[in-house]
Chain A
Amino acid sequence: MQHQVGATCPSCGRFVGPMEKCPYCGAEIKKRLPLKYLRLACLVLAILGIAILVYAVSGAATRTTTIGNIGATMNYAYVRLEGTVTRGPSYNPDQQSLRFYISDQSGEIQAASLGEVTEQLIAQNKIPTIGDKITAEGTLRVRDDFTTLNLSTADKLQLVPPTASEIAIQDIGADDELRLVSVRGDVREIRQPYQGLTLITLGDASGELDVAVNADIEKLYGALPSVELGDSVQVQGIVTFFRDSPQLLLRNPSDLQKLDIDNTAATVNKIGDLDASRVNQRVQVSGQVERVAKFSQGMRAVIADDSGEITLVLWKNIYDEIPNASELQKGANITVLGKLSEYRGELEIVPNRASDVKISAALAQNIETPQANQTAAPNTTPEPTNTPRPTREPTAAPVARTIASLTQADKDARVIVQAKITRASEFSQGMRYTLDDGTGKIILLIWSDVLAKLSNRNALIAGAEVRVTGKLDVFNDTLEVIPENAKDVELVAAAVIPTVVVRTIGSISTDDLDQNVSIQGTISELQDFSAGKYVTLQDDSGTIRVTVFKQIFAPIQDKLAIGAQVSVRGKVNVFRGNLEIVADEITFP
């Protein structure tokens, strides 16, 4: 058996391979290659090399780049970024994840921390919040459709919070976007458009705006201080724009502070001092009611003080909520806070809330009925002994009429109309339905207070047949029938809802754009975004992304998990070139 020189011991002839000393006889082996030294050299070089490398790079600063420079070939790069936090934070305590967006002059990128890094950030009170100037280090994850900076450690994150400046609400403009401002006002409204977001409407003398409080902020910092309607508060927040309207994003619940002063909203004005230059400002006037008149959308009253007169416009929904609305009569004392507006050359004051109107009972005897401007058919009206509202004139028994027979001359008549709903649309004060009985069309107008009392309002959809008793009115040359009570709207026949065909995911295409579809599948991926979740659904035919806004997924978020089987109903949409479905409803079969 042939071996290389050096592979056998020259003394005993045994195979020794790479050994330098024969293990059998102990003889030294002269090798073709100085393996012993090569081995040692290799060992020393390996250890030294690593030591030198670690020493050399440990002194180097982490490389900085701009967001615009980040490209596909920078995947896994460890970089430093500098910029401003423009969105977030979005906090998931279950996954211990914190996400926010950083923007510099060249672009915007999502940054994220997970697990222990999130805990460190919270413990060190280094939660990147919108408006903060930020320097962050992390590893870039570049994918085709998104890029993220994954933070490695909280120690390398530096935040410089912005400085707040006091500003009046009306002075907030586009240039103030992402600035930290401080406003004072009183709480006009508190609402939750969906779970996870609280909107507090704040009003000062110059106007109103919404303060948005994200539930993630409360998870991170604690609950918002308790405020009630009318409380005077000072709020620091970052200016952002929602549908072109400015709003303030609260960075920390403690940035909302209650004040001890009263009525920051508006100063009491003399009516005579009000002029067109103050249109759109919020003003407060006090005076006496001179006249009251009803109109199709609500009530108008003329208020006078010793300096002048002004028209008060009360929309129906506001009027109906005023506890002592019936006392709005000539001679009553009234204090009103509202927006000054101009209509056909006349100044008007328009309150937004019932609480802005304070009426004390009229002392005068000359009471005019609210319907003084309206005509009636007294010869045909029965005795009003049983009418529940004594201010109303006795009304005629409603008569069933076809739509075609109704004309503007029948204005104020009470009629009964039976027809099918062909269209439904929502407006700020209620719902409008288009009714068609085969002879013609008419608008059914249901104010929100009546709508709220309708038990079967969900059934009032296109295709349903209704019988409505209501008063005819004309608005913008269009006939409307307006029921006054929920019992005046009767569902004769529910709409026949076509069976929703569940489609395969693979069959959904751009041809279905804006169509409502129903799909079933298994959740394969879940990804948070600022307003909800992206849910990737798959079935045997393909995959599709479903955009689920917070208000949809909040009630079911415990069930939304990878591997869950769901049914989704929603509208087909294209977002950034990708087909998706915006979910209206998610159920679990």
Chain B
Amino acid sequence: MEYLALVPYAIAGTLLASILALIPALHVYNIAGIFILLAVSAQNFMGSNELAMLLVGMIVGYAMLNTISAIFLGAPDDSTIFIVLPGQKYLLMSRGYEATVLTGIGALGGVLILIVLSPFASTILGTIRAIMLPHLHWILGVIIVYMLMAEWPKGGDRGATGLARLWDAWKGLGIGILTFILSGILGIVLMYKSPVPLEMSFQNLLPAFVGLFAVPWVLENILSGTEIPKQHIATTFDAPPSMIARGIFSGALGGLFAAFFPVVTGGVGGYLAGHATAQRDDRVFIISQGASKFLYYVGAFLLFFLPAARITKGGMAGMLATIYTPEGAGLYYTTVAMIALCGVLAFLLLLGYARVAVWLVQKVNYRYISFVTLFLLVALVYFFTGIGGIAIMLVATPIGWLPVLWGSRRMNCLGVLLVPITLNLAGLGPTVAQWLGLL
């Protein structure tokens, strides 16, 4: 019965996340970081179980609701972009609301998958983990190689000669590889000689991620001039049950893989699953991304509560593990229940907030929103990581912008995580750091 007292905290977390998720590029880990700071500095700030449930509610809310800013505030300009992502396509077809709902349906599927798998997680994951533990480094190496080798060349159709065409195609691929390498070097720097203050090391990657992913996106919004067409709020959606099932299944594979496997993020997991299940339809893709994203964020955090496993995956668990150790199967299943409750609540909020977003983008020039977002991002980075973090952000921004301008894959920016960790797992991290003069 004591676990019932935790329900309000979980709901509060979801409500808080629902507001914050509307702010483009603001990550739930940043807000969680503030709560952790408060918990560390203020003794009686909140009970530890209560804080944990608040964060559960927050991450469920974020995983469901951050779709809104991604779809409604990321409209591309065809002067600056050659490839339109599926969510953006829907926005430009006045179907942004529908895309949001499809993503939410995928996420709801993710809730269901978590509930169904939660009793078996301990046995299955314990076994897989024991087998894979000595092999993490080369598995990550395999993922990196696949990411780089499987990137499709954009261009190369026009050119006077074969070499000209080859160059045209490989420009983008080459930039992709360069992006990966540069972000990898950045990651190594952050691992050994980060200019972020020592006391804020738990947010070491914040300025890098903001610079690699958030700022280029916001800058793109500011520089482009696309008019978003009037949006239609659909009352039905164009996806038969079989398509929904396919999307959820595909997304679940990727999301669960990313939730469990070290270093792999939701984007990588969704990407791999999309290839593994041979997706082509935009609707399937959108639904699968919804499921993948939800399972990555929430699934990874749920693993932290798994009895006896102590799996710390993802930023949220990593932060909470420094001040809290969950105990017992009771708390684990309570967390599952909170995820279900907050997941449904978040979906309902999604439907409402999507309408608000439709109204917002048609009333307010999203360029202004982007300016405000940019200011918030810089302020956030400075608050957590000071001048050192601002410097990192400034270095990361052009790296993150390379894929946007050259048409390569943004996922290559994940080199900031993949490279240093893969090298470290293989025992080569310090060697490479020494080559760079960092050690």
| A residues apposed to B, CB below 8 Å | 3-7, 17-18, 23-24, 31-33, 35, 38-39, 41-43, 45-47, 49-50, 52-54, 57-58, 60, 62-63, 65, 71-79, 115-117, 137, 139-140, 142-145, 152-153, 155-156, 506, 522, 524-525, 536-538, 540-543, 562-563
Contact = CB atoms under 8 A, between A and B. Distances in A.
Interface in B381-439: 391-392, 394-395, 398-399, 401-402, 405-407, 427, 429-430, 433-434, 436-439
Contact of A32 (B201, B225, B322, B430): B225
Given A47-B178, A62-B193, 8 more contacts: A4-B225, A18-B79, A33-B223, A39-B405, A43-B406, A78-B191, A79-B198, A144-B321
Given A35-B405, A152-B439, A153-B430, A522 B202 contact: no
Contacts, number: 191
Contacts of A525: 308, 310
Contacts of A46: 178-179, 182, 398-399, 401-402
A267 B217 CA distance: 87
Contacts of A38: 405
Contacts of B275: none
Rank and list the top 9 A-B pairs by shortest CB-CB distance, nearest first. A77-B201, A72-B322, A538-B308, A543-B308, A58-B437, A23-B158, A45-B398, A57-B193, A524-B308
B420 to A, nearest CB: 11
A155 B40 contact: no
Interface string B323-360: 11101110000000000000000000000000000000
Given A73-B202, A77-B201, A50 B395 contact: yes
A32 B80 CA distance: 10
Nearest to B325: A144
B151 interface: no
Contact of A39 (B130, B309, B395, B406): B406
A54 B439 contact: no
Contact of A538 (B122, B318, B391): B122
Interface centre among A24, A77, A142, by most B CB within 10 Å? A77
B268 interface: no
Nearest to B119: A540
11 contacts: A3-B78, A32-B79, A42-B405, A54-B189, A74-B201, A77-B194, A115-B427, A139-B191, A140-B201, A144-B324, A542-B307
Contact of A75 (B178, B185, B201): B201
A72 B191 contact: no
B81 interface: yes
A17 B398 contact: no
A4 B226 contact: yes
B186 interface: yes
A35 B79 contact: yes
A75 B200 CA distance: 8
Contacts of B77: 4
Nearest to B201: A77
B127 interface: yes
Interface of B: 36-37, 40, 77-82, 122, 126-127, 130, 157-159, 175, 178-179, 182, 185-186, 189, 191-195, 198-204, 223, 225-226, 307-310, 312, 318-319, 321-325, 327-329, 391-392, 394-395, 398-399, 401-402, 405-407, 427, 429-430, 433-434, 436-439
B198 A63 contact: yes
Contacts of B430: 117, 152-153
Interface class of chain A by DSSP: mixed
Contact of A77 (B82, B198, B223): B198
A378 to B, nearest CB: 72
A153 B429 CA distance: 9
B202 A75 contact: yes
B79 A78 contact: no
A522 B191 CA distance: 35
B226 to A, nearest CB: 7
Nearest to A53: B395
B436 A536 contact: no
Contacts of B318: 75
A153 B126 contact: no
Contact of B402 (A35, A42, A60, A562): A42
Contacts of A3: 78-79
Contacts of B319: 75
Contacts of A116: 427
B309 A524 contact: yes
Given A17-B78, A57-B189, A538-B308, A73 B199 contact: yes
A98 B68 CA distance: 49
A54 B78 contact: no
Contact of A522 (B37, B126, B195): B126
Contact of B126 (A65, A139, A562): A562
A23 B122 CA distance: 57
B163 to A, nearest CB: 15
Given A49-B398, A73-B199, A33 B322 contact: no
Nearest to B430: A153
Given A6-B79, A18-B82, A39-B406, A543 B328 contact: yes
A137 B199 CA distance: 16
Contact of B199 (A5, A74, A143): A74
A353 B329 CA distance: 55
A49 B429 CA distance: 21
Contacts of A77: 194, 198, 201, 204
Contacts of B427: 115-117
A152 B429 contact: yes
B198 A65 contact: yes
Contacts of A562: 126, 130
A60 B437 CA distance: 10
A246 to B, nearest CB: 36
B137 to A, nearest CB: 10
A17 B79 contact: yes
B434 A506 contact: no
Contact of A72 (B40, B182, B223): B40
A24 B175 CA distance: 24
